[in-house]
Every structure is written in C-alpha cells, then in structure tokens.
Amino acid sequence: MTPPAAIARAEVEAMVREALHRFLPDAKPGPTAAAGHGLAAAPRLIASVSARHCHLDQRGLEVLFGAGAELTVLKPLYQEGAFAAEQTVTIFGPRQQMIANLRILGPLRESCQVELAFTDARFLGIDAPIRVSGNTAGTPGCFLVGPAGGLELANGVIRAARHVHMSSAEAVYYGVKEGDRMQLTIVSGQPGVLDGVVVRIGDQAKLEVHVDTDEGNSLDLVNATKVTIA
C-alpha cells in the first residue's frame, strides 16, 4: 500500500485557520486573504452606545466649576486617555426645557461641544445637525449651568455621526482611510444594519464603534449576540 503523501505545514495551518473562521463569529478574511496570503483573524470589535455628554475647554470648565477647577475621573473609557468625569452640568434649550446630569467627558478640549441623540435635541428644541466630532461650525448653541455659574455656547451642539475608531494597522486590515464609510451589522432580538459609519483613525485608537442611544436602543445593541463591520 502506498503511504499517504505528507501534508505541508502551510496547508495544515491554512485548514486550521479556515476551521476557526467557520466557528468563531468575530473572525473574518482580511486584506491578506484577498492578496492570497490566507485568512487573518479579525481585530476585536467593540460596539458602544454613546449617551449624551459634553466636552469642555479650560475656560468653560472654570466658568461652570470655578477658577482652577480640574476634571476628576469617574471611570476610564475604552479609548486610551478618555474618561467619564465625576462632574455633570445641566443643559437648557430654547424651549426652556432642561436635561440635568449631562456627563462631562475628558480630557479637556480646545473648544466646548455637546453631543445629543435626536430625541434629546428634539426635547430641548435644538435643531442639532449630524456632524463628525469637532466639526461645530454653524451649529446651534445652548446654555449650560454648573455649580459655579452658567455658560452660553454660541454653537457646538451636534448629533454625533455614527463612527468607528481604529488604529492605522486596523485601517490597513479593513482597507479604509480617514473619513471613509463602513457598514455595521448587528445581530440581536431586533437586528439591523447601520450604513455610513465614519472611519476615525488614530495612532492610539482601539477598534470601537460609537452609536447614540436612539440608534443603540432601536437595534437592541446591549443584547447583541454578534456585531461585525465591513
């Protein structure tokens, strides 16, 4: 009987990778597969619901909390260096409606910005446009109140565009560049697909999608069994 031919190590590894791809929900072919180099394990994807919050600059912080005020960390966030602060403010809109306990996120920025979901903005009577964070030119303002005083913002209120943070290496994996749009697929009791997820690339960024509370609730994201992006 002729002995079976030996299987090359590379073939064995390829079969193992294919088996893992079939049974691991967060594994998928990457650009290396398309280039003929086999399957690559997908980066770990986190999908987070970003509740309403605000960012402050140093001047805004001192107006609201007093001279020399500093943000204190309540809990770190997934992105390196980002955190939810212990401090909160109250926001007022043109209808004289208010939302209390609006969380401040750190670290401080060069300008103030408030990020709301559509239902938040509608309740306050603010026609907040969908913008990438930091793009606040021509946006509406609001009035913030803290324990030391009030701060009127001439602009800076937005509905943050759904987006995905990723490192340069992860951008190479997905074959995307800054500002590109991707598609998020959510498997849950209320599954669905979100198009137009804006790519944000940073050297220290970790792969994470941010959607607002309206979007997250509509697709039952907190109970999702599988989330993928492409």
* Residue written as token pair 């137009």: 196
- Rounded to whole angstroms, the Cα distance separating 159 from 171 reads 25
pLDDT tens-place string over residues 63-103:
999 999 999 999 999 999 999 999 999 999 998 899 999 99
Q: What is the model's pTM? A: 0.81
Name the band, by pLDDT with cuts 50, 70 and 90, for residue 215: very high
pLDDT in the model for residue 207: 98
Task: For domain 26-47+162-229, give the CATH number.
Answer: 2.40.40
Q: Calculate mean pLDDT across residues 106-118.
A: 98
40, 170 contact by CB (below 8 A):
no
Map out the domains of the chain as residue ranges: 26-47+162-229, 56-160
Which DSSP string do the residues of 30-46 spell out, in sequence order? -HHHHTTS---PPPPPE
Phi, psi angle pair for 200, to nearest 5°: -120, 120
User: Is the confidence at residue 22, as pLDDT, over 60?
Assistant: no
The pLDDT value recorded for residue 183 is 98
Task: Give the pLDDT band (50/70/90) at residue 41.
Answer: confident
pLDDT in tens, 28-40: 444 443 343 333 5
